[in-house]
A and B are shown apart, each in its own frame.
Chain A
Amino acid sequence: KAGVTQTPRYLIKTRGQQVTLSCSPISGHRSVSWYQQTPGQGLQFLFEYFSETQRNKGNFPGRFSGRQFSNSRSEMNVSTLELGDSALYLCASSEELAGFRGGNEQFFGPGTRLTVL
């Protein structure tokens, strides 16, 4: 199976702009999560989607939003970009295993490197 894919791989934006990042999960995976990785804050959870519904949300401002489509592909959007939004944004997918809650691993994509100038 193909792995998790993310597009684009690199983005350069300026403050105030908005950006949309895309993620295609592993075929058959219906759960998609997003994380932000920065040198200062490490890996921080943004949100999680399952069957087009947001199942969990991290502690980020409302400028960060996401959605999931019926084919499990997901997008995240950041509006009114700030310098501090510069980061590697990672998408991860997992397979929902019946009766195995909590123990399923997530598979990560290569990330989108966002630079805000």
Chain B
Amino acid sequence: AQSVAQPEDQVNVAEGNPLTVKCTYSVSGNPYLFWYVQYPNRGLQFLLKYITGDNLVKGSYGFEAEFNKSQTSFHLKKPSALVSDSALYFCAVRDLPYNTDKLIFGTGTRLQVFP
């Protein structure tokens, strides 16, 4: 069965410092992986996805993610955090079979960026 895990409930980082939000996955077949962000009282916003190709994926708002097959990880990164990046971040994996749009989400990581 497809699954993702986000080992950290919360990540704290100072503004201007690099940030990393961790995600590991367990899949059968090709991993189709996604990152979403949720701001208070809002829906989920798509940040980026890994389908195939380069292991470093660039997305919205300066975020990027590194796909690592040997470590089954898909960590979200940003070189310089902003206070406005404070939000809830979800990692997700496409379920099987691939003719469904169903995503399986991690438990979420709350990112807090301090001024």
Contact = CB atoms under 8 A, between A and B. Distances in A.
Interface of A: 4, 6, 31, 33, 42-43, 45, 48, 50, 55-56, 58, 90, 92, 94, 101-111, 113
Contacts of B108: 42-43
Contacts, number: 65
Given A105-B46, A109-B43, A110-B43, A42 B107 contact: yes
Contact of A108 (B45, B102, B104): B45
B14 interface: no
A31 B101 contact: yes
B100 interface: yes
A48 B46 CA distance: 18
Interface string B16-52: 0000000000000010101010000111111001010
Given A102-B30, A102-B32, A56 B100 contact: yes
Interface in B59-115: 90, 94-95, 98-108
Nearest to A50: B101
Nearest to B50: A103
Nearest to A42: B107
User: Which of B30, B95, B102: most chain A Cβ within 10 A?
Assistant: B102
B99 A101 contact: yes
B43 A45 contact: no
Contacts of B105: 42-43
Contact of A102 (B43, B90, B94, B104): B94
A105 B44 CA distance: 11
Nearest to B36: A108
